[in-house]
Amino acid sequence: MKNNRVALITGATSGIGKATAFELAQKGFNLILTGRRINILEELKKNIETHFNVSVHIVSFDVGDKIQVKRAFEEIFKIHNAIDVLINNAGLALGLSGVDEGEIDDWDRMLDTNVKGILYVTKYAMPLLKKSNAPHIINIGSIAGKETYPNGNVYCASKHAVDSLTKAMRIDLLKYNIKVTLVAPGAVETEFSNVRFKGDIVRAKNVYKGFIPLAPEDISHIIAFIIDLPSHVNINEITVMPSQQATASIINKKEE
């Protein structure tokens, strides 16, 4: 396991992050998994290490809290000499209302997590990425970062920022031979809508009714493909949609 590549995945407790953890473990990556729910991280570590010959280091912190991020990386530095792949996956949406009716606390949390979180984690991971022979940063964006939809305002703005930051990273880190990729999914059935609607399960389930959304594993397969490309090849960005989705807000839903 000493020669295995190391991947750090934020937001690994569910959805795309969790699926990617299993995908990369299967490919022999040692993992650093982060999230806010330590009990789920502990279960995930046990499950992966039981089924795959890899090591899993878990760290629980909020990516939007710069003090917590700094402390987390002080711990990571003690265990790891390098990180080969950083997957900035942690993100969320809160609320779906006009900008005149939005909750300020929701705005703050979305910007802290979706934008500042990527900045903080990437900043502190940089010394370890620079020590890798083949460093790669993958930012999980969204179709909401490509177009703005009704009542999406601040969430869409945060994902547009991820899109722009990814381009900036690719420019600024080119001299270090660090690959940078944006993966921008359309509708993926995860905890996303449950979080957005603050536990309103009925409303959350209705988001995915009448069509077949993407599964987290669809995105994790794509991430693995991107990582496995030859060193001279980089996917700058990829937008992935369910076949029944044309734009952020146009989905061909069938009556059930």
Tell me if residue 112 falls in helix, strand or coil.
Answer: helix
Cα–Cα distance, 215 to 26 (Å, whole number): 18
124 is catalytic: no
- DSSP assignment string, 130-184: TTSSS-EEEEE--GGGTS--TT-HHHHHHHHHHHHHHHHHHHHTGGGT-EEEEEE
Question: Do the Cβ atoms of 94 and 109 come closer than 8 Å?
Answer: yes
Among the options 120, 124, 155, 208, which is catalytic? 155
- Residue 249: phi and psi, rounded to 5, are -120, 0
Return d(Cα 143, Cα 94) in angstroms, integer: 16
Q: Which two tokens stand for residue 106?
A: 């929701």
Question: Is 159 tagged catalytic?
Answer: yes
Cα gap 188→50, rounded to integer Å:
28
Residues 112 and 251: their CA atoms lie apart, in Å, by 29
- Phi, psi values for residue 178, rounded to 5°: -95, 120
Q: How far apart are CA 169 and CA 121, in angstroms?
A: 13
Query: Residue 5 CB: number of other CB atoms within 10 A?
Result: 20
Q: Which of 18, 45, 146, 159 is catalytic?
A: 159
Instruction: Enumerate the active-site residues.
Output: 155, 159
